[in-house]
Amino acid sequence: MIVEPKIRGFICTTAHAEGCRENVKNQIEYVKAKGKVASGKKVLVIGASTGYGLASRITAAFAGGAATIGVMFEKPSNGKKTASAGWYNTAAFEEFAAKEGLYAKSINGDAFSKDIKEQVINLIKEDLGKVDLVVYSLAAPRRTMPDGETVSSVLKTTGEAYTNKTVDVANRTVMPVTIEPATEKEIEDTVKVMGGEDWKDWISAMKEADVLADGAVTMAYSYIGPELTHPMYYNGSIGAAKAHLYNTAKELTKEFAEIGLSAYVSVNKALVTQASSAIPIVPLYTAILYKVMKPLGLHEGCIEQMHRLFKDKLYSEPKVLADDCLLRVDDWELKDEVQQKVSEAWEKISTENLDELADVDGYWDEFYNMFGFGCENVDYDKDIEIDIKIPSIV
């Protein structure tokens, strides 16, 4: 099939298998060129198929020499429609891992469920015995709770409505947007989906099954950002979930002291990923950020961030912590010289000067790229196979 991008709202409903393979290959080449990093050697990544989770898995495996198990929620092809990008990424990851003799298996299904937790634990028992690093990188719009109720996360403010600028990246228009406050129930539900409860369920189930190595490390991802985005993010419903995640890290370290577990939250940079494209205001901020950081030589994508996280923060000796459980790779994003330029641009930005002040082209390049489009070295006129198997999933 000749595969073209089909954009609907914040997502692209098609993905290009060869482009996704190329993206994974490029990320592997990046970390290999940067040299080896210290890492857990038996690693579980929950949310391993795209964005930060995929980049973590690539860093652990190809720069850290780790055996990896990845959990994700992706769609295979049915022969007519393409698979999702994360499916193709995972197929490519396993292909390249096999070539280097690195153990890699993946489990596709709902990470919130008991069933998937059991499948993963059994796989660890059979193949790895125990794991020494668990990365929790889920970004999900909803969660089915153990009692069968499905709750959704919302991207709203808490307290009062908030009006600021946003960009319609499709029409390249800057316009005002008002974000309504979340109800108490919406905040609670967002915390259930994106907070630390499920992370803790994973760690508890793994401890119970004795598949966590002594001195194991676990890490989840968060975002803080500058004040400009605080009403929407840090102080919004998603921020409430991230605060819960942070408290969970503290709890986990305390509760599992017996096995010497250390739990961390890494605060990462704002980037275009499938999860972040849906957040109002943030895409305009991200496009301005790219415009500011690129000429300063400070721009990073997921793979650069994760490689730096492993090398300079998590596994450096001593660890570089912002407090007892916080790692910060948003340090470059939050540099004064960056944020000052971003605020100046934010004040002035309008539809008329959008391209001058924001990197909307860069935003679109990364957006298309996430789905395997716009890659050099890929012939998009070629008829390609869309039904690609993931070797470990039969």
Q: Where does this chain bind ligand NAI (CB under 6 A)? A: 47-53, 71-74, 86, 110-112, 137-140, 221-223, 268, 270-271, 273-276
Structure tokens at 394: 């039969």
- Distance of alpha carbon 164 from alpha carbon 171, whole angstroms: 18
Could you tell me the smallest distance in angstroms from the CB atom of residue 47 to ligand NAI?
3
Residue 63 or 111: the one with the smaller Cβ distance to ligand NAI is 111
Positive or negative, the CA dihedral 148, 149, 150, 151 is negative
Q: What is the SS3 assignment for 345?
A: helix
Residue nearest to ligand NAI (CB): 51
- Distance of alpha carbon 89 from alpha carbon 94, whole angstroms: 9
Residue 82 or 274: the one with the smaller Cβ distance to ligand NAI is 274
DSSP state, 181? B
How many residues are listed for the chain in this entry? Answer: 394
Positive or negative, the CA dihedral 299, 169, 28, 306 is positive
Could you tell me the smallest distance in angstroms from the CB atom of residue 382 to ligand NAI?
27
> What beta strand segments (E) does 297-336 contain?
326-328
DSSP state, 229? G
Could you tell me the smallest distance in angstroms from the CB atom of residue 357 to ligand NAI?
20
Residue 66 or 271: the one with the smaller Cβ distance to ligand NAI is 271
- Distance of alpha carbon 162 from alpha carbon 140, whole angstroms: 24
Could you tell me the smallest distance in angstroms from the CB atom of residue 352 to ligand NAI?
27
3-state DSSP: the chain helix, strand, coil percent, rounded to 5? Answer: 40, 15, 40
Catalytic residue selected from 233, 246, 264, 363: 233
Could you tell me the smallest distance in angstroms from the CB atom of residue 116 to ligand NAI?
7
Residue 276 or 383: the one with the smaller Cβ distance to ligand NAI is 276
Is 362 exposed, middle or buried (CB count within 10 Å of its CB: 0-12, 13-18, 19+)?
Answer: middle
Q: Which of 93, 30, 4 is nearest to 371 (CA)?
A: 4
DSSP, residue by residue, 33-69: HH------SEEEEES-SSHHHHHHHHIIIIIT--EEE
Residue 223 or 234: the one with the smaller Cβ distance to ligand NAI is 223
Could you tell me the smallest distance in angstroms from the CB atom of residue 23 to ligand NAI?
12
Task: Please check whether residue 217 is in contact with residue 264, taking contact to mean a CB–CB distance below 8 angstroms.
Answer: yes
Could you tell me the smallest distance in angstroms from the CB atom of residue 142 to ligand NAI?
8
Rg, Å, the chain Cα set: 20
Peptide bond before residue 181 is cis, with ω within 30 degrees of 0: no
Residue 244 or 311: the one with the smaller Cβ distance to ligand NAI is 244
Catalytic residue check, 52: no
Residue 106 or 157: the one with the smaller Cβ distance to ligand NAI is 106
Catalytically active residues are 233
